[in-house]
């Protein structure tokens, strides 16, 4: 009879189905190795990610431990969701306290935490109202619906004619409406038909934006953008771009929608990255660090003139504004304010880039650029010099030396540690990068001679251009 292995037990055929359903493969409290856990995930979970092979088991501040007790430093912060540091005691205490009292009311009723959170958030960011959701993508969906509604009700766009303009190279999440704006073929191919009502413009190019506004202004309800494009590789727009966008949006009666899900809540050294140019968007989307990496909390901020276009029953979420998320959100904002994390991000960011520039000086052929703002930084490697090694391979080696970072695209390594990170911990990351380039890269090159040449980046299906670079605005 054929034998099957489920968990640690060998089961014979007739029992297989029943036992598979009832048998807890990894009993609670039972230690499991990293290798075993990764195998389980590969077997039982969809393959929609390509993770660095490292298992998080415990975390504190910027430190992570795997199940074997090895210590690492986190330089991704769950894509900037853990600005306050992992398991911040003020946030986890708020979570536990609230979890013991009340977790969910749904907004069919009121609860005694959400109004406090709403007041705190709007006051902190200077908007009249907020609409609570859970994930970042839901926040973006909410903003798109709100802006379309405003377009019909206030701007008097003809029914079903409203357009949202977004940027080439943008990343706003993974839902259908959101990927309908994506220039990443992997995100869009095989998921059509995409949602109509979108136009694209080069990121950082105010002149191109003006041309689109001029040509289609009557139908355009909003312009959605990231103040720094995170997933595209920490692309910082030219100085003055945000101010120009503000001016154009005001002139053409188009809502300026800032996706600050990754850049907001002190990540770049200001509460919002738009604050760097003293610009106030009409609509701001927050997520990630609004829940301090503890639970998903997102929100859309705007003034009443816009927000009240959405009426009862027209939008919502069972969990949006739940008391647990609200308690966590309040604590998350308190930590950022009380620990002056924005100022810290500026200081630490300057120091970190200084260190990275030093590494670049030693490897000028390999490191093409060091860029970023606050603690949202990236090192772009030179594709030709690196080949056949990729940024992913470099990240694997950094992991072996205790630093956790993730590449975006073939050549860019994003470095975004928790804002609570110490100077010594930052030093460690730049030292590790230097060691990897000095010691590991030559060995890797020898081991994989032309094994996998990096594939040239395909142009976007939609506009047939290469994205992920700021266009030359002078031309
Ligand atoms: C700028 C930006 N918008 C939206 C999202 C989507 O957020 P979530 O993954 O929580 O849906 C992300 C996630 O990386 C992001 O960086």
Tell whether ligand 1 has an atom less than 6 A from the beta carbon of residue 263.
Answer: no
Pick from 170, 171, 265 the residue to mutate for probing ligand 1's pocket: most ligand atoms within 8 Å of its CB.
Answer: 171
Closest by CA to 157, choosing from 253, 55, 268, is 253
Per-residue pLDDT, 460: 75
Per-residue pLDDT, 254: 98
Residue 137 Cα, ligand 1 centroid: separation in angstroms?
A: 6
Q: Which two tokens stand for residue 422?
A: 């110490």
Per-residue pLDDT, 28: 57
Tell whether ligand 1 has an atom less than 6 A from the beta carbon of residue 323.
Answer: no
Report yes or no: 257 and 147 within 8 Å, Cβ to Cβ: yes
pLDDT confidence of 405, banded at 50, 70, 90? very high
pLDDT confidence of 409, banded at 50, 70, 90? confident
Q: Running DSSP on this structure, what letter comes out for residue 291?
A: G
What is the rounded average pLDDT of the residues 231-243? Answer: 97
Tens of pLDDT, residues 89-112: 999 999 999 999 999 999 999 999
| Burial class of residue 24 (count of CB atoms within 10 Å of its CB; 0-12, 13-18, 19+) | exposed
What is the rounded average pLDDT of the residues 423-438? Answer: 98
CATH 3.40.640.10 residue ranges in the chain? 89-338
Task: Tell me the H-state helices in 74-175.
Answer: 77-80, 89-101, 114-125, 136-153
| Burial class of residue 196 (count of CB atoms within 10 Å of its CB; 0-12, 13-18, 19+) | exposed
What's the CA gap between 147 and 260, in Å, rounded? 16
What is the rounded average pLDDT of the residues 317-327? Answer: 98
Per-residue pLDDT, 25: 52
**Coil/strand/helix, residue 81:** coil
Per-residue pLDDT, 66: 97
| Per annotation, catalytic residue among 74, 184, 202, 259 | 259
Report yes or no: 52 and 42 within 8 Å, Cβ to Cβ: no
| Per annotation, catalytic residue among 117, 171, 223, 225 | 171
**E strand or H helix at 367:** strand 367-373
pLDDT top residue among 344 and 462: 344
Tell whether ligand 1 has an atom less than 6 A from the beta carbon of residue 137.
Answer: yes
- β-strands 63-65, 255-259: how paired? unpaired
Per-residue pLDDT, 90: 98
Identify the residue whose tokens are 């306290």. Answer: 97
Class of domain 89-338: alpha beta
Tell whether ligand 1 has an atom less than 6 A from the beta carbon of residue 259.
Answer: yes
- Give helix then strand counts, H and E, for the chain: 17, 17
pLDDT confidence of 15, banded at 50, 70, 90? very low
pLDDT top residue among 6 and 51: 51
Per-residue pLDDT, 26: 52
Residue 261 Cα, ligand 1 centroid: separation in angstroms?
A: 6
- β-strands 63-65, 220-225: how paired? unpaired
Q: Running DSSP on this structure, what letter comes out for residue 229?
A: B
Per-residue pLDDT, 459: 73
**Coil/strand/helix, residue 82:** coil
Tell whether ligand 1 has an atom less than 6 A from the beta carbon of residue 261.
Answer: yes
Tens of pLDDT, residues 46-55: 999 999 999 9
pLDDT confidence of 410, banded at 50, 70, 90? confident
Tell whether ligand 1 has an atom less than 6 A from the beta carbon of residue 231.
Answer: yes
What is the rounded average pLDDT of the residues 175-202? Answer: 93
What is the rounded average pLDDT of the residues 421-429? Answer: 97
What's the CA gap between 279 and 247, in Å, rounded? 10
In 10 A of CB 275, how many CB atoms? 18
What is the arrangement of strands in the sheet containing 58-60, beginning at the earlier edge strand? 58-60, 63-65, 71-74, 403-404
In 10 A of CB 61, how many CB atoms? 19
pLDDT surpassing 90 at residue 7: no
pLDDT surpassing 80 at residue 80: yes
Q: What is the mean pLDDT of the chain?
A: 91
Report yes or no: 60 and 293 within 8 Å, Cβ to Cβ: no
Class of domain 57-84+340-463: alpha beta
Pick from 48, 79, 174 the residue to mutate for probing ligand 1's pocket: most ligand atoms within 8 Å of its CB.
Answer: 79
Residue 379 Cα, ligand 1 centroid: separation in angstroms?
A: 21
Active-site residue flag, 154: no
Range scoring the smallest mean pLDDT among 267-281, 320-334, 420-434, 446-460: 446-460
Per-residue pLDDT, 302: 98
Pick from 144, 173, 264 the residue to mutate for probing ligand 1's pocket: most ligand atoms within 8 Å of its CB.
Answer: 173
Pick from 82, 167, 172 the residue to mutate for probing ligand 1's pocket: most ligand atoms within 8 Å of its CB.
Answer: 172
Report yes or no: 269 and 374 within 8 Å, Cβ to Cβ: yes
Per-residue pLDDT, 450: 61
Per-residue pLDDT, 457: 62
φ and ψ at 442, to 5 degrees?
-60, -40
User: Which residue's alpha carbon is nearest to atom 10 within ligand 1?
Assistant: 136
Tell whether ligand 1 has an atom less than 6 A from the beta carbon of residue 135.
Answer: yes
pLDDT surpassing 90 at residue 252: yes
Tell whether ligand 1 has an atom less than 6 A from the beta carbon of residue 260.
Answer: no
Residue 462's Cα: distance from chain center in Å?
23
What is the arrangement of strands in the sheet containing 376-381, beginning at the earlier edge strand? 367-373, 376-381, 412-415, 406-408
Per-residue pLDDT, 464: 67
pLDDT surpassing 50 at residue 189: yes
pLDDT top residue among 472 and 411: 411
Per-residue pLDDT, 361: 98
Range scoring the smallest mean pLDDT among 100-109, 283-292, 402-411, 419-428: 402-411
Q: Which two tokens stand for residue 297?
A: 């909390």
Query: How far are the Cα atoms of 132, 146, 255, 272 from residue 305, in angstroms, in the given order?
Result: 17, 11, 12, 22
What's the CA gap between 113 and 136, in Å, rounded? 21
Tell whether ligand 1 has an atom less than 6 A from the beta carbon of residue 74.
Answer: no
What proportion of the chain, given as a percentage, has pLDDT over 90? 85
DSSP 391-407: HHHHHHHHHHTTEE-EE
Identify the residue whose tokens are 């297989």. Answer: 16
What's the CA gap between 21 and 23, in Å, rounded? 6
Q: What pTM, to 2 d.p., does this model score?
A: 0.92
Q: Which two tokens stand for residue 162?
A: 């409203």
Active-site residue flag, 288: yes
Per-residue pLDDT, 465: 63
Per-residue pLDDT, 306: 98
DSSP 2-57: -EEEETTEEEEGGGHHHHHHH--SS-TT----HHHHHHHHHHHS-------S----
Report yes or no: 381 and 359 within 8 Å, Cβ to Cβ: no
User: Which residue's alpha carbon is nearest to atom 4 within ligand 1?
Assistant: 172
- β-strands 298-302, 283-286: how paired? antiparallel
Range scoring the smallest mean pLDDT among 22-26, 380-384, 396-400: 22-26
Closest by CA to 336, choosing from 82, 15, 107, is 82
pLDDT top residue among 408 and 330: 330
């Amino acid at each position: 009879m054929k034998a099957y292995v489920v968990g640690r037990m060998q089961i014979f055929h007739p029992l297989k189905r029943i036992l598979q359903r009832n048998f807890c493969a990894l009993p609670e409290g039972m230690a499991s190795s990293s290798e075993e856990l990764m195998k389980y995930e590969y077997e039982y979970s969809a393959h929609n990610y390509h993770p660095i092979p490292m298992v998080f088991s415990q975390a504190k501040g910027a430190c992570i431990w795997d199940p074997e007790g090895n210590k690492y430093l986190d330089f991704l912060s769950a894509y900037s969701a853990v600005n306050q540091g992992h398991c911040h005691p003020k946030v986890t205490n708020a979570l536990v306290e609230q979890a013991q009292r009340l977790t969910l009311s749904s907004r069919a009723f009121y609860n005694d935490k959400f109004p406090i959170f709403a007041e705190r958030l709007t006051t902190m960011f200077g908007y009249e109202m907020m609409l609570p959701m859970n994930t970042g993508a839901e926040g973006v969906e909410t903003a798109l619906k709100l802006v379309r509604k405003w377009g019909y009700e206030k701007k008097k766009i003809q029914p079903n004619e409203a357009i949202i303009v977004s940027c080439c190279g943008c990343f706003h999440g993974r839902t259908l409406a959101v990927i309908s704006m994506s220039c990443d073929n992997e995100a869009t191919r095989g998921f059509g038909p995409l949602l109509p009502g979108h136009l694209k413009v080069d990121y950082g190019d105010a002149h191109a934006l003006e041309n689109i506004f001029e040509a289609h202004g009557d139908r355009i309800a909003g312009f959605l953008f990231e103040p720094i494009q995170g997933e595209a590789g920490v692309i910082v727009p030219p100085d003055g771009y945000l101010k120009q966008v503000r001016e154009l949006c005001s002139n053409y009666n188009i809502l300026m929608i800032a996706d600050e899900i990754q850049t907001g809540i002190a990540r770049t050294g200001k509460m919002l990255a738009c604050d760097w140019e003293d610009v106030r968007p009409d609509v701001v989307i927050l997520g990630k660090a609004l829940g301090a990496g503890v639970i998903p909390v997102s929100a859309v901020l705007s003034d009443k003139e816009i927000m009240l276009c959405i009426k009862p029953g027209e939008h919502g979420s069972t969990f949006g504004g739940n008391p647990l998320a609200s308690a966590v959100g309040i604590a998350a904002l308190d930590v950022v304010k009380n620990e002056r994390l924005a100022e810290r991000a500026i200081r630490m960011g300057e120091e970190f880039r200084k260190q990275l520039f030093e590494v670049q000086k030693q490897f000028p052929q390999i490191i093409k650029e060091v860029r970023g703002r606050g603690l949202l930084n990236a090192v772009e490697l030179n594709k030709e010099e690196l080949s056949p090694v990729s940024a992913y391979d470099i990240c694997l080696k950094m992991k072996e030396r205790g630093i956790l970072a993730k590449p975006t695209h073939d050549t860019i390594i994003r470095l975004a540690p928790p804002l609570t990170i110490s100077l010594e911990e930052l030093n460690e990351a730049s030292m590790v990068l230097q060691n990897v380039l000095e010691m590991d890269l030559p060995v890797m090159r020898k081991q994989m001679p032309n094994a996998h040449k990096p594939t040239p980046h395909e142009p976007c299906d939609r506009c047939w251009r290469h994205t992920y670079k700021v266009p030359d605005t002078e031309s």
